[in-house]
Structure 1
Amino acid sequence: MAESKETNNMRLLVSLVLVFCYFPWQLVSAQKRITTLPGFNGLLPFSLETGYLTVDEDKGVEFFYYFIESESNPVEDPLILWLTGGPGCSAFSGLVFEIGPLRFDLQGYRDGLPSLFYKAESWTQVSNVLFVDAPVGTGFSYSRTEEGFQTSDSQAVSHLVTFLYKWLDKHPKFELNPLYIGGDSYSGKIIPVLTLDIATAKEFNNARFNLKGYLAGNPVTGTTSDFGSRVPFAYGKGLISDELYKSTKKSCGGKYSNPSNVQCANYLDAVTAVRIVVFFFKQEKSIICIF
């Protein structure tokens, strides 16, 4: 009997963990240049460094990172600090499923350890990308004390500023590179504040910031604006019918983040039922999920 997609997806998730469990000594080192990965055939065709930096000495908070040098001109190309959303999504998902130079063989996956392929259409073709597991407890980032795991958005920003200071202190050749703060989803709450803190900072441990801007993909900004825009967005993209849109708008008075009556709540449930259907648009090199 053929296994369901859910079973195959679960096997794949377990295999993702195994990818790094095969070489745990490469993860706990303070700074390590990685040349091979389980599932990838041969040497990596790009420069990959992983490591830990302490962002809170008193509480023992350690942030884990993946750094990939630009495949064009690392000396002059921009440096991008990339934050995956969640909060709590590993930066590895940004590396493999979003802007990094690796991808999984999803179509060819059957069982066991998944295969990793080189992805040429990566942002690392023209930029140095620093993927960070943040906040604490995300991915391989951790705390040596229970108190250190107590975090917030403002605490995450503070930790990231410290992280970037220390990282540049250990990698001074990138101090003059144009710096951009980037990320997606929940990181939309972190990116503007982090950028502001960096813009107003001057110097720390001899590290300087050459900040040029920030970028946010599908960013979370606030409950009212985010949830309030989903109905008109779904309608504009043709995901819901004219009738459903007009009925929802009339019942809710154009405000969709907090239903004001039972009829409004029912219509929003109907909109959600349509939007929550996930369909996969398969291309040769990607799978696009629309929620």
Structure 2
Amino acid sequence: MATPLTPNPAYKCMTKLFSRVLVIVIFLAIVESQSIIETLPGYSGSLPFKLETGYIGVGDLDDVQLFYYFIESERSPRDDPLVLWLTGGPGCSAFSGLVYEIGPLSFDFDTSSRDSPTFKLNPFSWTKVANIIFVDAPVGTGFSYARSWEGYSITDTISAAQTYSFLRKRHHICEFLVRHNHGPPHRCCRRGGHRS
């Protein structure tokens, strides 16, 4: 007789924390299209970096709403470069890049309990030397959504055009590039990112 599979405790912990963060972010997004996040459940105290989340409308009549996380450099936001992070897949949320790869926080599995997952600072975060904008693209990924069914009809070309439109509308990016004369932002993708 086969042994029944039991979920990994770390996976359960991560799922609960992700659910809590999801509820908070969705609530904030409904209240306001742009929010500064100062605290997170699972992290003790105020965040030691500037985290902004929000939506930017793109496409016909801003039908597609692309969700983003913007984190200022911990070193020198005015002088450090801007990195655009598009998680590969396609179809993977930028949240994975934020907490599993290059972001300032990671899950702390040593101090998490089954009911209360926790975060710790990532000593190898790219935000120590760069401003990073994580984008849930294409539409339907992570928290990005369309207001009509037609908005979900996506190709690589449409996704690229929507990402370009996002960058043009995102005032922090435009101001940053003009103010610092850095040229275009650095683009980083993981797996399948060559299609972006």
2:164 pairs with one of 161, 164, 175: 161
1:173 pairs with one of 136, 159, 175: 175
Please name the residue that 2:189 is paired with. 183
- 1:124 and 2:148 equivalent? no
Higher RCO (Cα < 8 Å, 6 or more apart): 2
With structure 2 as the length reference, what TM-score do the two structures score? 0.87
TM superposition outliers: structure 1 runs of 4+ over 6 Å: none
5+ unaligned residues in a row in structure 1: which ranges?
A: 191-291
Post-superposition CA distance 1:235-263 (Å, at most 9, x none) = xxxxxxxxxxxxxxxxxxxxxxxxxxxxx
Partner of 2:151: helix, strand, or coil? Answer: helix
Asked if 2 retains the 8 angstrom alpha-carbon contact of 1:75 and 1:177, the reply is no
Go from structure 1 to structure 2 and tell me whether the alpha carbon gap of 1:23 and 1:141 turns closer, same or farther (over 3 Å shift). Answer: closer
With structure 1 as the length reference, what TM-score do the two structures score? 0.60
Partner of 2:96: helix, strand, or coil? Answer: helix
Q: CA deviation at 1:43?
A: 0.3
Partner of 2:66: helix, strand, or coil? Answer: strand
- 1:83 and 2:83 equivalent? no
Higher radius of gyration, 1 or 2: 1
Matches within 5 A, 1:260-279: none
Matches within 5 A, 1:216-235: none
Distance 2:9 2:152 in 1: 32
Asked if 2 retains the 8 angstrom alpha-carbon contact of 1:19 and 1:113, the reply is no
Distance 2:151 2:18 in 1: 27
Distance 1:47 1:59 in 2: 27
Distance 2:79 2:10 in 1: 43
5+ unaligned residues in a row in structure 2: which ranges?
A: none
Distance 2:29 2:84 in 1: 20
Aligned-partner residue type, residue 116 of structure 1: F
Alpha-carbon RMSD across the aligned residues, in angstroms, is 1.9
Aligned residues: 187
Aligned-partner residue type, residue 193 of structure 2: S
Partner of 2:15: helix, strand, or coil? Answer: helix
Distance 1:86 1:162 in 2: 21
Matches within 5 A, 1:96-175: 96-167=99-170, 169-175=171-177
Go from structure 1 to structure 2 and tell me whether the alpha carbon gap of 1:11 and 1:74 turns closer, same or farther (over 3 Å shift). Answer: closer
Partner of 1:24: helix, strand, or coil? Answer: helix
Go from structure 1 to structure 2 and tell me whether the alpha carbon gap of 1:8 and 1:127 turns closer, same or farther (over 3 Å shift). Answer: closer
Post-superposition CA distance 1:131-165 (Å, at most 9, x none) = 00000000110000010011111111010000001
1:15 pairs with one of 1, 14, 17: 17
Aligned-partner residue type, residue 27 of structure 1: A
Go from structure 1 to structure 2 and tell me whether the alpha carbon gap of 1:22 and 1:173 turns closer, same or farther (over 3 Å shift). Answer: closer
Please name the residue that 1:95 is paired with. 98
Q: CA deviation at 1:5?
A: 4.7
Please name the residue that 2:8 is paired with. 6
